[in-house]
């Protein structure tokens, strides 16, 4: 199936399903829908970032969260997060639900459920989705966002700026400011 023909749930401002449509129809008509973003940390508290493939129709060549994707119609946020983690990074991990971001301009009309995980397993990126990826220190990411903001997706910058006390991330619980 062509990516434009994938079917997603259309949702309202409260994230309640109101219908279904193709990805193309949803994006062309700027309808609200759902996505997930997963932040993969290693035991050194470094965050894995992916550089989106140049063939992507949204944010090609920009740095983004470790793993992200649209929630298919009838799929749960958590199921989608596990699917995307496997498809993009060849990872299986225990995910912890974190902040949920309401649909807005920075998220392209997507309600975003964020998950986190900590793993030292080997990552194998999917070259159809990602051109490169690596673990970075949080200080390095913050510096790069401040000096080169156009290299990052708007949703990642929004999410990263919501992380509280980022240098002291607990390996048991990653703290976020809360809902936006």
CATH of the domain at 85: 3.90.79.10
pLDDT digits (tens, 9 = 90+) for 50-66: 999 999 888 999 999 99
The number of domains in the chain is 1
Q: What pLDDT score does 1 carry?
A: 54
Q: What pLDDT score does 163 carry?
A: 67
**Domain assignment present for 19:** no
* pLDDT at 169 > cutoff 60: no
For 30, phi and psi rounded to 5 degrees? 50, 45
Q: What pLDDT score does 2 carry?
A: 66
- Give me the chain's average pLDDT, please: 88
**Domain assignment present for 171:** no
Distance (Å, whole) CA 91 – CA 89: 5
pTM above 0.85, yes or no: yes
**Domain assignment present for 155:** yes
**Domain assignment present for 159:** yes
Distance (Å, whole) CA 137 – CA 144: 11
For 32, phi and psi rounded to 5 degrees? -70, 140
Range of the domain at 55: 37-69+77-164
The angle subtended at Cα 110 by Cα 64 and Cα 77, nearest 5°, is 85
Distance (Å, whole) CA 65 – CA 47: 9
More confident site: 9 or 106: 9
**Domain assignment present for 28:** no
Which among 130, 62, 56 has a CA at the least distance from the CA of 90? 130
pLDDT digits (tens, 9 = 90+) for 12-26: 999 999 999 999 999
Distance (Å, whole) CA 145 – CA 135: 15
As a whole-number percent, the residues of the chain with pLDDT over 70 amount to: 88
Give CA separation, 11 vs 8, 76, 84, in Å: 9, 13, 21
Chain position carrying tokens 């992200």: 68
Distance (Å, whole) CA 56 – CA 25: 17
Q: What pLDDT score does 114 carry?
A: 92
pLDDT-derived band at 175, boundaries 50, 70, 90 = very low
């Amino acid at each position: 199936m062509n990516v434009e023909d994938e079917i997603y749930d259309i949702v309202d401002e409260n994230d309640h399903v109101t219908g279904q449509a193709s990805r193309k129809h949803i994006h062309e008509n700027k309808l609200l829908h759902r996505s997930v973003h997963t932040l993969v940390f290693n035991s050194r508290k470094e965050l894995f970032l992916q550089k989106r493939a140049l063939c992507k129709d949204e944010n090609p060549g920009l740095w983004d969260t470790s793993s992200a994707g649209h929630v298919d119609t009838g799929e749960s946020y958590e199921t989608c997060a596990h699917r995307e983690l496997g498809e993009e990074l060849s990872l299986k991990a225990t995910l912890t639900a974190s902040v949920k971001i309401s649909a807005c301009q920075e998220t392209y009309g997507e309600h975003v459920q964020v998950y986190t995980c900590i793993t030292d397993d080997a990552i194998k990126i999917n070259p159809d989705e990602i051109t490169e990826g690596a673990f970075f220190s949080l200080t390095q990411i913050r510096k790069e966002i401040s000096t080169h903001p156009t290299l990052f997706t708007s949703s990642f910058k929004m999410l990263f700026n919501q992380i509280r006390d980022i240098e002291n991330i607990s390996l048991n619980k990653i703290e976020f400011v809360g809902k936006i």
